[in-house]
Each structure stands twice: as structure tokens, then as C-alpha cells.
Amino acid sequence: MTRKVKLPGFVFTAMFFGYAFLYSPIVSLVIYSFNSSKLVTVWGGFSTKWYVELFHNDALINAAWQSLKVASLSATCAVILGTLASVALVRFGNFFGRSLMQGVLTAPLVMPEVLLGLTMLMLFVSMDQLIGWPDARGLLTISIAHITFAVAYVVVIVQSRLKTVDRSLEEAALDLGARPAKVFFVITLPLIAPALLSGWLLAFTLSLDDLVIASFTSGPGSTTLPMVVFSSVRLGVNPQINALASILLLVVVICVVLVGKAVKSGERKN
Amino acid sequence: MFKFSKWAAAAAISLCVVHSAWAEEEKVLNVYNWSDYIASDTLERFTKLSGIKVNYDVYDSNEMVEAKLMAGRSGYDVVFPSAFPFVARQVKASIYQPLDITKLTNYGNLEEGVVNSLNKTDPEVMKHAIPYMIAGTGVGFNKGKVDEFAPGAPTDSWALLFDPQWSDKLKACGITLLDDPSEVFAAALVWLGKDPQSEDLDDLKAASAVIDRIRPNLRYFHSSSYINDLANGDICVAHGYGGDLIQSRDRAAEAKNGVDVHVYLPKEGAQVVVDVMAIPADAPHPDNAHKFIDFMMRADVVGPITEAVGYANAIKGTDQYVSAERRNDPVIYPSAETKSKFFTLPPKSQSYVRQMTREWTRLKTNQ
């Protein structure tokens, strides 16, 4: 099916440097995770001791675990809310307040993180004073804050996909007697599933590497991974962090490959 | 209305009940600190001793602590901010509670020299905070080069940088100063035997004259380039932050390039950053927090922390808990005498800062 094309020299060189620019920092990060020296700039021989130490470093493992929990919770909620909002925006015509809703939903895309983090902190503190909830900030408040900005990204992705879905498919189902809820779950949802998946992954990634908003909205016992990484600048970044990053990278690569394969086989079926 | 007040009364009573039930603090303590800024077994030992479970959370800047404490209800019981300018100005905003010294049985372990220098800058800080770790600004030098170009130079004094007698000789191998006017002028002032906290304009002129005289001998003013340059042997004397100079020394040792970097805090007095322990005004577990701070003032607790993190501490009698290698390091383990000469700088007045910046610009642009 696909034909092998010989790339012209210029394109090949540009591509080579482009990829080198993107990936050489990642490669060097992985290489230095096997460095036996504690200094990140000096190569002291091959060693896997940082991986061993990493598994004994409860603080770092805990933080990674917290981050994963927050990221999956907020990505899931953001996808649910974002999908509902997109359906309302795309399928419900020009209802009253539609442009306001669109604007408010996507505002976090352009809002500075510091501002969002600080307003969230203020909101949680004053809510605590007024209604006694949330009485302590922690994973829940971080997740709420992450959902707030992740919804914006999900809406953008799902909305554009939903616009391209052929309405006549849904109308045909309605004609054949399916109720709107059934149409949504059986027809619409499978059609926009790829957008949901990419929205989920994007929300997950954004949540995983967010530092600013999480710092503002965290409380006792809810340190996430980026906070530990940035906090270690005080005493110098430890190669354990390289080791942890390499493991995360490996997991991400495996996931992306699996998702890519699933999508490909899905396309073939269609 | 009647009904409402009955409800209110019931609520008030139940609140009282809840409160008395909480009078005995739950066995939890929420600590907010830099990552790895303690020894690996510190918290475990505290929990074993007191039965209090510790949540250890980390932050990435003093500003983050400030933002959270200012917003209120942070939930943290002990925080570790820097004394100046942070704690000094935060105390004014009453976000810390005064420490109950009667609960701190190890208060006597604090080194008087450090306490005095903090009190001299701002006595309010010591009422609300206990010094934890100290990082000084000092001098790093390439031993081989200094012995070659300036044999007999005093490698324990600011004179190595500021005395023209030595600096003229060391010019050949490279001298650098920090690009930080308050650090440089304060260092020049202590070398001249004057008060580094002085806002006297004549003193500023005198300090400026010192720099002016050695200006032709300086390679550059920079706050981080010296780390690599000193390690690679490109320069031979650098004015720098203690932690950075140690990093430079470690790099040189690791690279095995024949460069032997030594670091010291000058005997005339070194400017220091002091990180302190303080209890937020609305801390949920103030009693536990006092217990923790008291624990953190024990020599056998602080000694291993100095060993682990490589910063000087403010507690007496930690010698036997610190390895010889650390103890012989004049930056990580300064003598009591050096510690007594440590100084911190309070925020300067606007008008003085303007004068200082003007002098600095003149010096840097070589006019």
C-alpha cells in the first residue's frame, strides 16, 4: 500500500536536525540516569544504582503515585465534563448564552497559570471560611483545579471532532426509534472516541507536569512529582530523578505504541 | 426566628463539644520544607520518639511558602523559610505564632554567635523562629595557581580578593566577583572593619574605593559562571555562594583535571543565608510543632542533617555526629569563631539602594 519515497537531501538534513533538537535532551537524560557520578554534568561510569536508590526513596515514589492519581482522576472528569459541554455547544443550536459559555470554557487556555492557581487558592480558602468545605486542601483540590483548565483543552478537541460527525447517522438512529440517550451512547460516543482518547491523554499529560497550579492548591500530604523535582534545586538535582523520568518515559512510549496499534487496527476494520 | 436561635445554640454547643474533644492534639504533624532538606532517618526517629506521624511536603521557592501562609489555613505546622528578607517581613504580617520557649527544652543548644547575629539584624525573627541551616558566601580558590602566583597569600581572609598586594599578583590567573552589589559591598565593608549593615554613604564610598582599586584585576562580575570556570582552572579566585563553590570543588575533584579547588568563609565575617523553623499562626497542631522544633535542636539530630545536606547548623556539640570529612570543611562546618562573625543583611532603605546601584553601575562599567 505505502510506497517507499527517497527523501531529498535538504529535507532529510532538516528532519535529522529537527528530531535531534527534539530528542537529544531526552536521550541524554536517559543516558545520565545510568551515570555512577552524583554530578549531573560529569560522566563517572555505568551504574544502575540510582534505580535501586529510587525504589527506596519513598518520598519520590509517593509523589509520583500522587501525581498519577491526580492526573487520571482529573483527566477522566475533564473528559466527561468536556464532552457534555461540547455536545451542548455543537448540537443544541444557538441557545441563549452560547457564546458566553464558549468563552468561559476556553478562557483557561489563555489565562496565566499563576493567576489560575492563585484564584483557585483564594476560592478554596474563602469557601472553607464560608461553608466549611474543603476543610483541608489536598489531592481533591488539586484535581478540581486541574479539571478546570483541562476541560478547556478537552472541549476544543471534542468540539472539532463532533462538528465533523455526520448528523444524519444520529437522525437515522432516531428515526429507527432509538431514544436520544441511546443514540448518544451507541452512535455519537463511538464516533468521537478517538477525540475522547486524545483529550484524555492531553489532560493527563497537562496534569502530570503542572507545577504552578498544583503548588497553589496543594495541602499537607499532597506533594506531586513536579514539586519534588523543582524543590530539589535547593540541594542539586539528583540522578534519581533522571531514573524516574526514564521509567516514566518507558511507560509513555509503551502506552503510545499500544494506543497507536489499537487505532490502526480500528481504522483497518472500518 | 425562635427556631433559628435554637438551632444556633445547638450548633454552638456541638461545636464546643467537638472542640474539647480536639484539645488533645491528634498525633499528626504537617511539615513544609525543601526536598531532601533533612537526614533520611530524621522523621522516622521523631515518630518513634513521640508517636507523631509526620507528613513531609516540599516547596520550590520561599515565595510559594509566603503565598500559602498569607492566604491562610495552609494546614502546615512547621515551615522552613529563609530568615531575611522573608521571615522578617512575614512576622510583620503576623503569619507566625510566637514560639513558646518554655516548651523548647533544647533551646540552650543554640549557638550564641548565630543567635546574636540574627538578633542584631531583627530581634523579632528570633521570637518566632529557630535557626536551622546556614549557607555562607565565601571565596573559592585554585590552590596550585595561588601558590604559584601569590605564595603566602592569606587563604582565610577577604584580603585574597580585596588587598591589592595579592590581587595584583593573582590578576594573571583570573579573579571574579559576584554580580550582586549588596554582597560585594558588604564583603568590602567587613574587610575594612566596618559594619556591613551600615547605610552610611561614606562607608559606601570607602567600600567602592576598595573595588575600584582592584577593578583592573577582575575578570568578570557574575553569579554562576565561576562554578565551571573555577573547576576547569580558567580562573583562580572566585567570590561565590558556599553551596556553588562546593559544587565547583566537587566537579574539579570528579573530573580529575589536576585542579585543586579550596573553599573558605573569610575570618573577618561572611554574609549568610539562614533558614529557620517557624510555626504558622493558624497551624492545626502547634504543640506537636513545638515538640518537633525541640527535637530538631538536639545535637544528635542536627549533626546527621549537616552530614546529609552539607550545610552548617546553629547547634552546639554536633562534632561527634558529623564525619571528619565534613568537619574539616570550613564551609560546611565553620568554627564557632567564624560563626560568631556571620552577618545577615536586613532590607535596605530605598534611598540607600539607589546610591548603591549607582556606585555599582559605575564600577561595572569601569568609569
The model's pLDDT over B207-266, given as tens digits with 9 standing for 90+, comes to 999 999 999 999 999 988 898 889 888 999 999 998 889 888 888 887 778 889 999 999
| Percent of chain B at pLDDT exceeding 90 | 56
Chain A interface includes B282 (CB < 8 A): no
Chain A interface includes B13 (CB < 8 A): no
Grid cell at residue B184: 560585594
User: What is the rounded average pLDDT of the residues B261-278?
Assistant: 92
Could you tell me which residues come within 8 angstroms of residue A228 by beta carbon, excluding any fewer than 6 positions away? A59, A60, A63, A241, B35, B58
Chain B interface includes A221 (CB < 8 A): yes
Grid cell at residue A10: 535538504
Least confident of A55-64, A261-270, B50-59, B229-238: A261-270
Nearest Cβ partner for A122 among B71, B255, B310: B71
Min distance A216 CA to chain B CA atoms (Å): 7
- Cα torsion B235, B240, B243, B246: sign: positive
Identify the band that residue A140 occupies on the pLDDT scale cut at 50, 70 and 90: very high
User: What is the rounded average pLDDT of the residues B11-39?
Assistant: 70
Question: What pLDDT is attached to residue B157?
Answer: 92
Identify the band that residue B176 occupies on the pLDDT scale cut at 50, 70 and 90: very high
Candidates A59, A72, A61; CA nearest to B35 is: A59
CATH of A65-237, one of 1.10.10.10, 1.10.3720.10, 3.40.50.150, 1.10.10.410: 1.10.3720.10
Its pTM stands at 0.84
Chain A interface includes B67 (CB < 8 A): yes
For residue A46, what is the DSSP state? B
The single-letter code of the amino acid at A184 is: F
Chain B interface includes A126 (CB < 8 A): no
Radius of gyration of chain A from its Cα atoms, rounded to whole angstroms: 23
Instruction: With a cut of 70, say whether residue A72 has pLDDT above it.
Output: yes
Identify the band that residue B12 occupies on the pLDDT scale cut at 50, 70 and 90: very low
User: What is the rounded average pLDDT of the residues B145-164?
Assistant: 91
Chain B hits for A238, CB-CB cut-off 8 Å, are 36
Question: What pLDDT is attached to residue A48?
Answer: 87
Instruction: With a cut of 80, say whether residue B275 has pLDDT above it.
Output: yes
Chain B interface includes A141 (CB < 8 A): no
Instruction: With a cut of 80, say whether residue B325 has pLDDT above it.
Output: yes
Chain B interface includes A122 (CB < 8 A): yes
Alpha-carbon separation of residue A179 from A83, A174, A190, B10 (angstroms): 19, 6, 16, 50
Nearest Cβ partner for B58 among A121, A136, A228: A228
Question: What pLDDT is attached to residue A143?
Answer: 95
Nearest Cβ partner for A234 among B34, B73, B250: B34
Nearest Cβ partner for A39 among B71, B254, B310: B254
Give the torsion through C-alpha atoms of B141, B175, B267, B342, to 10 deg. -110
CB burial string A107-127: b at 16+ within 10 A, e below: ebeeeebeebbbebbeebbee
Min distance B58 CA to chain A CA atoms (Å): 6
Instruction: With a cut of 80, say whether residue B84 has pLDDT above it.
Output: yes
Chain A interface includes B220 (CB < 8 A): no
Identify the band that residue A3 occupies on the pLDDT scale cut at 50, 70 and 90: low
* Subunit contact A219:B75, Cβ cutoff 8 A: yes
Identify the band that residue B105 occupies on the pLDDT scale cut at 50, 70 and 90: very high
CA distance B125 to B112: 15
Beta bridge partners of B29: B54
| Percent of chain A at pLDDT exceeding 70 | 95
User: What is the rounded average pLDDT of the residues A240-269?
Assistant: 83
Chain B interface includes A114 (CB < 8 A): no
CA distance B296 to B317: 14
- The average confidence (pLDDT) of chain A is 88
CA distance B31 to B58: 8
Chain B hits for A129, CB-CB cut-off 8 Å, are 73
Q: Hey, of B22, B27, B35, which one would you mutate to test binding to chain A, going by the most A CBs within 10 A of its CB?
A: B35
CA distance B2 to B336: 69
User: Taking CB atoms and an 8 Å cut-off, how many pairs form between chains A and B?
Assistant: 79
Cβ-contact B81, B63 below 8 angstroms: no
For residue A238, what is the DSSP state? -
Question: What pLDDT is attached to residue B3?
Answer: 47
CA distance A222 to A227: 10
Question: What pLDDT is attached to residue A2?
Answer: 59
A157's enclosing H/E stretch is helix A139-164
User: What is the rounded average pLDDT of the residues A48-58?
Assistant: 87
Chain B interface includes A44 (CB < 8 A): yes
